[in-house]
Structure 1
Amino acid sequence: MAKKSRKTASQYSESKSKVGISLTPTGIGLLTQMAQNTGLSRSELIERIARGNIAIACQQASMTIALENPPQANETSPNNGATKSQTKIQVIEGKQPVQTDVSEPGGSGVSQEDYQSLQQQAKEQANLIEDLQQKLAQQKSETAEQTESYQSLQKQAQEQGNLVKKLQKQLADQKSETAEQTESYQSLQQQAKEQSNLVKKLQKQLADQKSQTAEQTESYQSLQQQAKEQSNLVKKLQKQLADQKSQTAEQTESYQSLQQQAQEQGNLVKKLQKQLADQKSQTAEQTESYQSLQQQAQQQANVIEDLQQKLADQKSLATQQVESNQTLQQQAQQQSNLVKKLQKQLAEQQSQAAQQVESNQFLQQQTQDQGKRIAELERQLSEQQSPANQAPESYESLKQHNQEQEERIATLQKHISELKRWATIGKTEFNKRLNRRWF
């Protein structure tokens, strides 16, 4: 149901009224996409479709509406949309071929080729815009570089200006220095001229001095010859003087040594004289002591003879004692060896006695075991012989059993006698060895 219309201003000679319509989401989406592609609003798109200014071509269309004498934009319709000119609307059922070109006046249909060409142009324009943007960026970078280079050139120009000022100042200084140098050069030329005259004078004086020097050289050489001869003479005299000094020193040393020797000899003579006097007194004393010593020596000789006699007696006695000591030592050695042998024999006897004790204990144990076995056999024999404890057997079996028992008893008695004999022998041997030990 249509809503109440509301008039709005438009580009046409008549005002627009707002109309409410209902569409599916697909229809709304397609209508919106068409409006965006054509650059129109949805209401304007519907307006132009209704006026026949825009034709929608579709191969799947089942109905085609054809308009004849469509209304112009400046025409008005006072009676609710009825135009002054007679617009004929014809509805054609069925599918119609799609026309790619609209040749009717006032038509605004766009063919596929035009659309593709427009897309191609738009693409080319986009590429052109990108190229222009790149060129603009390059120009900006070049401009920035040029600006930097311009600034650096300005800086260099400023530095060069400062350098030019410095050079101009230096040039002015050099000009003033050149003027001063020119003046000094002129003064130097004057001085050089004066020095040249002075050099000539000096050369003349030098020639005079050379002649004088030649004369002086000759006289100097003669003086050198004389000085050389005098030097040789002085050396000879000095050598002779040194020889005389050395001889004088040697003579002085020999004289001093002779004086010292003479003094020492005088002292020695005094000492010898004193010693001679002492020796004379000592000789007298020694003569007296010699006589007394001779007497003492005679007495000592007698004592020595007595002592020698006693010593000979003691030597013979000592020899006898040595022989007796050797004999005693030999006997002690023999006794020691005998003691060792006896100790060894005693140890052997003790070990043998221990072995015999063990063997006797073993024999006693065997004897006890044999006695027990004999008692057991006798008990069994007594049991077998008692008719109350035996089951009735045949005569032959009893006879054979008794014979076996008798043989076993004989064997046991033989073993017992043998054990008793060995026990007697062991006891006798043990007593003998025990007696030897005590001995």
Structure 2
Amino acid sequence: MGISLTPTGIGLLTQMAQNTGLSRSELIERIARGNIAIACQQASMTIALENPPQANETSPNNGATKSPTKIKVIEGEQPLQPDVSEPGASGVSQEDYQSLQQQAKEQANLIEDLQQKLAQQKSETAEQTESYQSLQQQAKEQSNLVKKLQKQLADQKSETAEQTESYQSLQQQAKEQSNLVKKLQKQLADQKSETAEQTESYQSLQQQAQEQSNLVKKLQKQLADQKSETAEQTESYQSLQQQAQEQSNLVKKLQKQLADQKSETAEQTESYQSLQQQAQEQANLVKKLQKELADQKSETAEQTESYQSLQHQAQQQANVIEDLQQKLAQQQSLATQQVESNQALQQQAQQQSNLVKKLQKQLGEQQSQAAQQVESNQFLQQKTQEQGKRIAELERQLSEKQSPANQAPESYESLKQHNQEQEERIATLQKHISELKRWATIGKTEFNKRLNRRLF
């Protein structure tokens, strides 16, 4: 069934539908059923409806509604007599009243949730503060430990440098000792070569002396033979003299033979004297050779003493070299220990680096949690703003529903006061949330600053 209305009526109907949150057809339906009453002082006619419980039965034949509803039309202006005991008779429907109560209950639940979240936020902020202080303490301890390790490493480097210098000095000394030993070995080899040459010369002189001795013995033997021959000739001469006396006729011959014999004897005497002179010279030569041999023995003894002294010096050099080798072994052992210590320090530095990475990871997680908390706070703030808007919209709707001649019921006033209290509590919670966010931002900024100072 179509309904024709004037533009004024359509405008008022549209405005009432918007204020009640209903469509125009539903608004007309509820007005026709008596669920919504329109109160106006300028009304010239009042329609009173009495709806029994069986007012909505439908006929099975034609679908028409059997409505035993009593409709009473009263002409003229009627005074408004609202019944404050019934919520539906005060200008506010039962559904709107229940809706407002439901919204108030939701507001209370929301406030409780916000309070719980605020308490949780405070607890998390306190935990973050404790964690931040703990991280600061750990960072300070780590910084002290790193400084201590750096100092130990510097001392270790200094000791290593000193030991390196000492090791280089020992190497230089060992090199000089090695050069000295090589030089001594070379001198000893030269001395051995000279001694060998002198030994060969001595052996050659001994051989020459032996040959000279053999020659002297041979000459002495020849001289003895010559003496024996001379003695025999003397005996023969005496025998010839005796025979000369006996044989006078043979005197001339014997004299001639005697002259020849004398000549030969003179020659033999000269030869004997020459041999004696040669023997004297040989004796002088032997004495000279013996003297030279004694001098050579003395020189050989001196060389032997010098050789023994060189051997003693070489032994001392060997002992010094052994000491240097022992010191070098100790130095190598110390260097090995230093290498192990450096490796241990590197391992500790690696552990420190891993710990710093772990702290950075924990810091990242803390920052992520802080970001999540900021998002949660923003979400709560947004929800609070939406609730505030809804409350403001409800207040506006309620204020528009109020009539200038009709005061709001006490239940509506109490509900409005309750909503106002809820708004104040929400504003207080928002203020607390803003304060917590501000402190969280300050703490995060300070933490980042200190972390940056700690890391760099």
TM-score of the superposed pair, with normalisation by structure 1: 0.26
CA displacement at 1:100 relative to structure 2: 3.1
Provide the C-alpha distance between the structure 2 equivalents of 1:423 and 1:139, rounded to a whole number of angstroms: 10
79-88 or 350-359: bigger deviation: 350-359
Match of 2:361 among 334, 344, 350: 344
The answer to whether the aligner puts 1:428 opposite 2:441 as a matched pair is no
- Once the two structures are overlaid, the 10-residue window that deviates more, 348-357 or 236-245, is 348-357
Does structure 2 conserve the Cα–Cα contact (< 8 Å) formed by 1:76 and 1:83? yes
- Deviation of 1:37 after TM superposition, in Å, equals 1.1
1:20 offset after TM fit, Å?
A: 1.4
Greater percentage in helix:
2
1:92-142, Cα deviation, whole Å (9 max, x unpaired): 000011133376697683299999998999999899999999999999999
Taking the aligned partners of 1:389 and 1:97, their CA distance within structure 2 comes to 11
Offset at 1:164? 1.6
Is the partner of 1:386 in helix, strand or coil?
Answer: coil
Distance in structure 2 (CA, Å) of the matches to 1:390 and 1:71: 31
Q: Offset at 1:53?
A: 0.7
Aligned-pair distance for 1:84?
3.7
Corresponding residue SS for 2:267: helix
Q: Secondary structure at the match of 1:97?
A: coil
Contact 2:46 2:78 survives alignment (8 Å):
yes
Deviates more, 1:157-166 or 1:418-427: 418-427
Q: Is the 8 A contact 1:75 1:83 kept in 2?
A: yes
> 2:264 aligned to 275, 282, 289, which one?
282
Write the distance in 2 (CA, Å) between the matches of 1:385 and 1:246: 191
Deviates most, 21-30 or 304-313: 304-313
| 1:393–1:228 Cα change, 3 Å | closer
2:7: which partner in 1? 25
Structure 2 CA distance, aligned partners of 1:396 and 1:308? 107
Q: Deviations over 1:388-434 (max 9, x none)?
A: 99999999999999999999999999999999999999999999999
User: What's the offset of the Cα at 1:170?
Assistant: 3.5
Q: TM-score, normalised by structure 2?
A: 0.25
SS in 2 for 1:325: helix
- Percent identical pairs in the alignment equals 95
With 341-350 and 117-126 compared, the bigger mean Cα shift is at: 341-350
Larger CA deviation: 163-172 vs 37-46: 163-172
CA 438–58 in structure 1, closer or farther in 2 if over 3 Å, else same? closer
Q: Distance in 2 between matches of 1:136 and 1:377?
A: 26
Task: Quote the RMSD (CA, aligned, Å).
Answer: 66.3
82, 86, 102: which one aligns with 1:100 = 82
Query: Cα deviation per residue 1:152-192 (whole Å; 9 max; x = unaligned)?
Result: 98999599669827735635745973997999999999999
Asked whether the equivalents of residues 240 and 254 of structure 2 are also in contact (C-alpha less than 8 Å), the reply is no
Deviation, structure 1 residue 69: 2.2
Distance 1:195 1:90, change over 3 A: same
Mapped to 2, the partners of 1:272 and 1:116 lie a distance apart of: 201
**Contact 1:51–1:71 at 8 Å: present in 2 too?**
no
User: C-alpha distance in 1, partners of 2:13/2:248?
Assistant: 171
Question: Which residue does the alignment assign to 1:72?
Answer: 54
Q: Please name the residue that 1:395 is paired with.
A: 412
Note closer, same or farther for the CA distance 1:69–1:188 as it changes in structure 2 (3 Å cut). Answer: same
User: Matched residue of 2:58: which SS?
Assistant: coil
Please give the alpha-carbon distance, in whole angstroms, between the structure 2 residues aligned to 1:411 and 1:324: 62
Aligned to 1:110, the other structure's residue is in SS state coil
The 1:290/1:144 distance shift into structure 2, 3 A limit, reads closer
Deviation digits for residues 293-321 of structure 1 (CA, Å, limit 9, x no counterpart): 99999999999999999999999999999
Answer whether contact 1:101 1:111 (CA < 8 A) is retained: no
- Rounded to whole Å, the distance in 2 between the matches of 1:415 and 1:222 is 124
- Cα distance change of structure 1 residues 24 and 217 upon mapping to structure 2, 3 Å threshold: farther
Change (3 A) 1:229 1:40: farther
Tell me what 1:15 maps to.
Answer: none
- For residues 287 and 143 of structure 1, do their structure 2 counterparts lie closer, same or farther at Cα, with a shift above 3 Å needed? closer
Matches of 2:178 and 2:50, distance apart in 1? 134
Alpha-carbon separation, structure 2, partners of 1:142 and 1:416: 13
Structure 1 residues 373 and 200: alpha-carbon distance in aligned structure 2, compared to 1, 3 A threshold: closer
Q: Is the 8 A contact 1:102 1:109 kept in 2?
A: no
Does structure 1 retain, via aligned residues, the 8 Å contact 2:42–2:77?
yes
Larger relative contact order (CA 8 Å, sep ≥ 6):
2
Distance 2:38 2:177 in 1: 124
Asked if the contact 1:54/1:107 (under 8 Å) is kept, the reply is no
